[in-house]
Amino acid sequence: MPRPITVGATTDPARLRARLARVRAAGYAMTRDEVGEGISSIAAPIVDASGVVAGCAHVHWPTYRFPDADSPAVAAIRDRVIATAAAIGEDLSRGA
């Protein structure tokens, strides 16, 4: 099993598969203290016209700034990241 980067990192294969299923269903991923201690992030896929994930839109911030993952501020960040990823995907699909 891989060594975790941080204490909060998911390394168990079964837990990782379950988490990826939740991320696919939700359309975004959120981390708290997984990539780095004290860092939270949200990412959403950029999908092209053929349905292929071409990249992602991502934002990160110090966890102490928004300690409550369910706060209105975090929800606003999430919604903006998802909308940005969708807009970039539309541009890619149009060849912009």
Residue 22 included in any domain:
yes
Instruction: Say yes or no to pLDDT of 27 above 80.
Output: yes
Per-residue pLDDT reduced to its tens digit, 64-87: 888 788 899 999 999 999 999 999
Q: Which residue has the higher pLDDT, 12 or 88?
A: 88
Q: Which domain holds residue 31?
A: 13-94
Hey, is 42 helix, strand or coil?
strand
CATH of the domain at 61: 3.30.450.40
Please report the sign of the dihedral spanned by the C-alpha atoms of residue 28, residue 31, residue 34, residue 39: positive
Residue 7 included in any domain:
no
Residue 5 included in any domain:
no
Residue 6 included in any domain:
no
Instruction: Say yes or no to pLDDT of 59 above 70.
Output: yes
Q: Report how many domains make up the chain.
A: 1
